[in-house]
Amino acid sequence: MADSALVTLLLLERTGARSTAEVAAELALSRNSARRILDTLHGRGFVVRDAAQRFRLGPTLISIAAELPSELAIAADPHVTDLAERLGETVVLAMLEGEHSVIVTQSLGVTSPLRVEHEIGFRQPLSRGASSLAILAHLPGDDDRVARSGVAATELAAIRARGYALSVGHIRTGMIGIAAPLYRETARVAGSLAVIAPETRAQDLTRHAELLRSTADLIRNAYRSLRETSRIAEESPR
């Protein structure tokens, strides 16, 4: 039971919301077995059930994860801080989690008293905000989350073509954000790196798109180095 529950959570983390029948089919379980697992996870807050009777990761798991910085967040932290200092604006790192992006680290710009700040753990759907749209546009075309988002294919194609997402007032009125996709070791998008600022500084912000993309590449390389260091340490004789 415990192993099946863990596999179920990993499935939902990878694919987003799934019905009982879909979980049963993808994990080669009977519907009764899948229902028992999901009911148990639901009762403990590890998954939540939406109006369409589909399950996704729930608040208990998210709150636990929020207390444990990922290796990607650790690798990104100095680069996030450096970019915020160079631009004087708020920089946030968001991770893909089911059908949402979740902010896992941020650094605040200090050159202006008028600035934007998010809470760590702030979640937003993949259809709203630059951080989310940068992720959504770079998911595989056959990923169910792309179709469910309702975002036009032409908009997602435009994001991919220019290399970053742009949003104005999606999350807060008067706020603009630009975000580039963030990858780990594979070609599958894992999150995004975004700069957010008051809309009055929109022109300055979009001029830094190339710096944003290059910083995302630096973070990916730093993550690879961290993973390699961890691998060597694990393989070293004790």
> Phi/psi at 160 (nearest 5 deg)?
-65, -40
**Where do you find CATH 3.30.450.40 in the chain?**
69-232
The pTM is what?
Answer: 0.68
The residue among 83 and 223 whose pLDDT is bigger is 83
Can you tell me the distance from the alpha carbon of 198 to that of 117, in angstroms, rounded to the nearest whole number? 11
The strand pairing partners of 157, in sequence order, are none
CATH topology of domain 2-64: Arc Repressor Mutant, subunit A (1.10.10)
Can you tell me the distance from the alpha carbon of 55 to that of 144, in angstroms, rounded to the nearest whole number? 14
**Where do you find CATH 1.10.10.10 in the chain?**
2-64
What is the CATH code of the structural domain delimited by 69-232?
A: 3.30.450.40
Can you tell me the distance from the alpha carbon of 53 to that of 20, in angstroms, rounded to the nearest whole number? 8
pLDDT in tens, 169-194: 777 777 889 999 998 766 788 899 99
What CA–CA distances, in Å, run from 64 to 27, 61, 165, 235? 25, 5, 29, 28
Region of 27 please: left (phi>0), alpha (psi -120 to 50) or beta: alpha
Q: Does the pLDDT value for residue 227 go beyond 80?
A: no
pLDDT in tens, 89-138: 889 999 888 888 988 888 887 655 556 676 777 888 999 999 999 999 99
pLDDT in tens, 126-152: 999 999 999 999 998 778 889 889 999
